[in-house]
């Protein structure tokens, strides 16, 4: 790939419908693969993958349907801490405020108490998603339904204050509110979709710089999410961010503080067939200029995947002894799928064309985990 996917180590808006050289629709597709919505709906998402240009409309339809279902069965409630001056004790007495303001002399008391409310961070998040997605240039009828539902939630007492990332990270689903999962998953994807949509000039959402780290992490998570949903039903175990241990002997006292950690991006294991694939995703050109060759594989990446494989061999795990490695890069209009066997491990170097159609991207992701050379 002569031109890297990123330019000057930064993903930049490359024109209408593009971020760098990647079509906006395919960034949406990567965000779909990375999202909780893809996991919640599983195989039924195949229909969405074939229509990435309409993905905002389709995600909005899922969100609207989920919100309407919850509205019919009542939105989930939660407890919110309040502080008020009352004429009777409720909850815990705020002694300091009561004394400082001399409330008892007036027959009042300051209390802190938990109150059941529909104005929870989760419901505020969903309302904000409805308002946001209505500005994505949706079909007129769908945008109207989004605004209508957002106004309905407002009339129920759900405020428009968008919860913080910290508040949403603490959100947990219980058995009584498990039906909220689809609604929240669709809302999360709405906010993810706001990032590339803003890059194309279709909205005005504030967003972080789209640098190489952001793009690489999205690619890594999207590939892992895709394999979790598509391969797990076929008996594959999918692990992401797995830590590997060095086979250490005769270590000095200070080596532990300076020895680098090994952490893989994705490990696929299929025990019935005895296959294990260690995948490392990158977000730059798979080839670079070399000392003695015009183009060569990046030696650092080759050494890295080799270390992942050889460091785990010889420990009594037959799957590790025969594991294969895959370096997976994105490519724009240039494809590569080469392999070599080194000390019993197949090392494969492949690309995925992020400028291709959604169905082609899906086929490419499945092809690179098949045995090399398989039809």
* Mean pLDDT value across residues 229-247: 91
**pTM > 0.85:** no
Are 16 and 200 in contact by the 8 Å Cβ rule? The answer is yes
Q: Which residue has the higher pLDDT, 178 or 237?
A: 237
Are 328 and 368 in contact by the 8 Å Cβ rule? The answer is yes
* Mean pLDDT value across residues 361-367: 92
Predicted confidence (pLDDT) at residue 113 exceeds the cutoff of 50: yes
Name beta bridge partners: 211. 10
Q: How far is CA 300 from the centre of its chain?
A: 27
Kindly give the pairing relationship between strand 345-353 and strand 324-331: parallel
Give the 3-state DSSP-derived string for the chain, with helices as H, strands as E and coil as C. Answer: CCCCCCECCECCCCECCEECCEEHHHHHHHHHHHCHHHHHHHHHHHHHHCCHHHHHHHHHHHHHHHHHHHHHHCCCCEEEEEEEEECCCCCEECHHHHHHCCCHHHCCEEEEEEEEECCCHHHHHHHHHHHHHCCCCCCHHHHHHHHHHHHHHHHCCCCCCCCCHHHHHCCCCCHHHCCHHHHHHHHHHHHHHHHHHHHCCCCCCCCCCCEHHHHHHHHHHHHHHHHHHHHHHHCCEEEECCEECCCCCCCCCCHHHHCCCEECCEEEEEHHHCEEEEEEECCCCCEECCCCCCCEECHHHHHHHHHHHHCCCCCCCHHHHCCEEEEEEEECCCCCEEEEEECCEEEEEEEEECCCCHHHHHHHHHHCCCCCCCC
What CA–CA distance (Å, rounded) separates 83 from 215? 44
pLDDT in tens, 325-356: 999 999 865 689 999 999 999 999 999 998 88
Is residue 88 exposed (0-12), middle (13-18) or buried (19+ Cβ within 10 Å)?
Answer: exposed
* Mean pLDDT value across residues 299-325: 94
Residue 168's pLDDT is: 78
Residue 208's pLDDT is: 41
Among the ranges given (3-7, 32-36, 149-153, 163-167), the one the predictor scored with the smallest mean pLDDT: 3-7
- Interior angle at CA 313, CA 369 and CA 296, nearest 5: 55
pLDDT in tens, 8-59: 334 443 444 666 667 777 888 888 888 888 887 765 555 555 555 677 888 8
- In whole numbers, what is the pLDDT of the chain averaged over residues? 83
- Whose structure tokens read 């090392």? 347
Residue 7's pLDDT is: 43
Name the band, by pLDDT with cuts 50, 70 and 90, for residue 1: very low
What CA–CA distance (Å, rounded) separates 229 from 216? 20
What CA–CA distance (Å, rounded) separates 131 from 60? 11
Name the band, by pLDDT with cuts 50, 70 and 90, for residue 68: very high
Determine what percent of the chain is predicted with pLDDT higher than 90: 43
Are 21 and 355 in contact by the 8 Å Cβ rule? The answer is yes
What residue ranges define each of the domains in the chain, with the CATH number in brackets?
35-76+119-209 (no CATH), 79-117 (no CATH), 213-250+260-367 (3.40.1350)
Determine what percent of the chain is predicted with pLDDT higher than 70: 85
Name the band, by pLDDT with cuts 50, 70 and 90, for residue 150: very high
Residue 19's pLDDT is: 61
CA-based torsion, 103, 105, 106, 107: positive or negative: positive
Nearest to 76 by CA among 167, 184, 202: 184
Residue 218's pLDDT is: 87
Residue 13's pLDDT is: 39
- Interior angle at CA 48, CA 179 and CA 60, nearest 5: 55
């Amino acid at each position: 790939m002569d031109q890297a996917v990123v330019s000057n180590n930064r993903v930049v808006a490359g024109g209408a419908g593009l971020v760098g050289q990647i079509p906006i629709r395919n960034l949406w597709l990567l965000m779909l693969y990375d999202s909780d919505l893809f996991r919640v709906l599983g195989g039924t998402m195949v229909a969405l993958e074939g229509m990435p240009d309409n993905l905002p409309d389709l995600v909005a339809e899922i969100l609207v349907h989920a919100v309407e279902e919850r509205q019919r069965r009542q939105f989930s409630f939660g407890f919110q801490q309040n502080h008020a001056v009352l004429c009777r004790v409720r909850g815990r007495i705020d002694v300091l405020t009561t004394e400082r303001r001399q409330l008892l002399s007036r027959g009042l008391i300051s209390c802190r108490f938990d109150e059941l409310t529909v104005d929870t961070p989760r419901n505020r998040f969903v309302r904000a998603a409805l308002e946001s997605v209505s500005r994505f240039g949706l079909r007129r009828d769908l945008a109207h339904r989004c605004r209508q539902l957002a106004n309905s939630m407002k009339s129920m007492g759900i405020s428009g204050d968008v919860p913080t990332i910290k508040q949403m990270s603490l959100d947990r689903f219980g058995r009584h509110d498990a039906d909220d999962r689809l609604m929240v998953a669709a809302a999360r994807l709405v906010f993810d979709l706001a990032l590339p949509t803003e890059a194309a000039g279709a909205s005005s959402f504030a967003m972080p710089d789209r640098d190489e780290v952001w793009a690489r992490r999205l690619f890594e998570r999207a590939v892992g999410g895709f394999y979790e949903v598509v391969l797990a039903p076929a008996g594959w175990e999918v692990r992401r961010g797995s830590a590997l241990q060095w086979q250490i002997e005769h270590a000095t006292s200070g080596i532990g503080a300076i020895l680098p950690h090994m952490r893989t991006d994705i490990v696929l294991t299929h025990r019935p067939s005895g296959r294990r694939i260690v995948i490392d995703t990158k977000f730059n050109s798979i080839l670079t200029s070399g000392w003695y060759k015009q183009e060569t594989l990046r030696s650092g990446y080759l050494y890295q995947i080799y270390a992942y494989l050889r460091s785990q061999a010889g420990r009594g795990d037959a799957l590790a002894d025969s594991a294969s490695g895959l370096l997976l890069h994105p490519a724009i209009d240039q494809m590569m799928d080469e392999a070599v066997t080194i000390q019993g491990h197949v090392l494969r170097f492949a690309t995925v064309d992020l400028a291709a159609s959604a169905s082609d991207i899906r086929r490419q992701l499945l092809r690179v985990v098949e045995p090399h050379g398989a039809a």
